[in-house]
């Protein structure tokens, strides 16, 4: 789960990370009031969306007067910002962050991520901030320094200081950097984060370190332990299909194709999508219905898939272990009755109670297309598409 910049800054601030003063605004008048409240003669107004690259598309501006703050806010609120990290629809701007302008002497990059290869938290830092990590890795790979944290020990002081010296910081700054780094690490560890990124981490004219921007994302499977973090979720920044699926406990990712997928198990879902493409089609989604799927859950999966107007055929592929094929079959029949399906549906069942499930499908009298193998199911799904979709 991603959160907004201002939320990430509030969290990091509570762990001792220095951040600029700022305020949230939902209207041009409120933005101008925030500037007046902060004082000074320059403010940075930032669109709050779940994406990087805002500045490149007009989502960030330094303003020199309250009127300029209000005018910029008026033109930004309600816009769909399309960045290199969003799809063609972009992200809606419904809130702004107004913060005091900073005296920037140097920009650094700092990130904490989970390195799955070493099964450790990895710190990635660079003496060049303000760029995306992908651009840094491509344009100046030698500037990146990495350090892996041993979970049994945590981020030791000597390790933090070593990183500071490798970035070329002055001794006074190394002490600040060590404190800064360890605070970020505690936030990552204690809140089950998946990523903490400070870009840029700036050194001010007075030599202090400040988190000028911040991103955090969290392990969705651990949110039950952190209700305060879970409450920060912003559905307006999510794909509406994915938001609906999340609310119903389904693992769903929207894609650009037209063959809707209802599958159990992430591995089988990936294999099914590959087989659809091999057969000449394009999947419309990834949907893992999970184990122990009841007919009601199957019915909800159909509703979720059908919420995508691009879907022209549905492929149900179930290898039942914890699941039962008769449950899935009953769910398909229930979906036909409750949802009003008028698209071709291809069903492939295998595993627990497969004979009973196939019998339910066969005796339903509904125009359901059956398949015995994944390859056959994919080919039948591609063949069942309307000519307009196939073209």
Burial of 68-91, coded b for 16+ CB within 10 Å and e otherwise, reads bbbbbbeebbebebebeebeeeeb
- Alpha carbon distances (Å) from 139 to 83, 136, 243, 284: 20, 5, 36, 35
53 known ligand binder: yes
Question: What CA–CA distance (Å, rounded) separates 334 from 349?
Answer: 17
260 known ligand binder: no
- What the block records as the tokens of 214 is 């911040």
107 known ligand binder: yes
54 known ligand binder: yes
Is 109 designated active site? yes
Question: What CA–CA distance (Å, rounded) separates 31 from 117?
Answer: 44
46 known ligand binder: yes
DSSP 8-class letter at 142: G
39 known ligand binder: no
Is 363 designated active site? no
129 known ligand binder: no
- Alpha carbon distances (Å) from 314 to 321, 341, 348, 382: 22, 10, 11, 10
From 5, 185, 188, 197, active-site residue: 197
9 known ligand binder: no
Question: What CA–CA distance (Å, rounded) separates 153 from 220?
Answer: 25
From 5, 109, 188, 336, active-site residue: 109
**Which conformational region is residue 154 in: left (phi greater than 0), alpha (psi within -120 to 50 degrees), or beta?**
left
- In the three-class reduction of DSSP (H, G, I as helix; E, B as strand; rest coil), residue 150 is classed as coil
Q: Tell me the residue length of the chain.
A: 391
Sequence-separated (6 or more) residues with CB below 8 Å from residue 14: none
Annotated binding site for ATP: 46, 53-55, 99, 102, 107
Annotated binding site for substrate: 264
What positions carry a catalytic annotation? 109, 197
Annotated binding site for Mg(2+): 199, 213
Annotated binding site: 46, 53-55, 99, 102, 107, 199, 213, 264
């Amino acid at each position: 789960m991603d959160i907004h910049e201002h939320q990430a800054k509030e969290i990091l601030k509570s762990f001792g990370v220095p951040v600029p003063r700022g305020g949230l605004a939902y209207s041009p008048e409120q933005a101008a009031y925030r500037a007046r409240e902060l004082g000074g003669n320059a403010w940075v107004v930032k669109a709050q969306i779940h994406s990087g690259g805002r500045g490149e598309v007009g989502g960030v501006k330094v303003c020199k007067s309250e009127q300029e703050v209000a005018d910029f806010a008026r033109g930004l609120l309600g816009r769909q910002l399309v960045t290199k990290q969003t799809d063609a629809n972009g992200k809606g701007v419904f809130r702004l962050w107004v913060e005091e302008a900073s005296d920037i002497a140097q920009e650094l990059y700092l990130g904490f991520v989970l390195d799955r290869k070493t099964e450790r938290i990895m710190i990635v830092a660079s003496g060049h901030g303000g760029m995306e990590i992908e651009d840094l890795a491509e344009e100046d790979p030698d500037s990146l320094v990495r350090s892996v944290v041993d979970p049994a020990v945590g981020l030791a002081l000597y390790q933090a200081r070593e990183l500071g010296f490798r970035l070329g910081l002055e001794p006074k700054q190394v002490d600040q950097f060590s404190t800064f780094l360890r605070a970020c690490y505690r936030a990552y560890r204690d809140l089950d984060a998946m990523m903490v990124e400070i870009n840029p981490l700036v050194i001010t004219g007075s030599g202090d370190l400040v988190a000028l921007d911040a991103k955090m994302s969290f392990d969705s499977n651990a949110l039950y332990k952190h209700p305060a973090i879970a409450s920060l979720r912003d559905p307006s920044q999510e794909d509406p299909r994915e938001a609906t699926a999340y609310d119903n406990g389904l693992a769903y990712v929207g894609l650009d194709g037209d063959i809707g997928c209802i599958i159990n198990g992430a591995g089988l879902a990936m294999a099914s999508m590959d087989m659809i493409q091999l057969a000449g089609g394009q999947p419309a989604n990834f949907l893992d219905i999970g184990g122990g799927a009841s007919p009601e859950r199957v019915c909800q999966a159909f509703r979720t898939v059908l919420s995508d107007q691009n879907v022209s055929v549905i492929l149900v592929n179930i290898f039942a272990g914890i699941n039962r094929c008769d449950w899935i079959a009953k769910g398909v029949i229930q979906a036909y009755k409750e949802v009003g399906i008028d698209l071709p549906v291809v069903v492939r069942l295998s595993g627990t109670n497969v004979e009973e499930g196939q019998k339910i499908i066969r005796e339903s009298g509904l125009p359901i297309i059956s398949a015995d193998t994944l390859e056959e199911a994919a080919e039948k799904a591609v063949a069942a598409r309307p000519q307009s979709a196939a073209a």
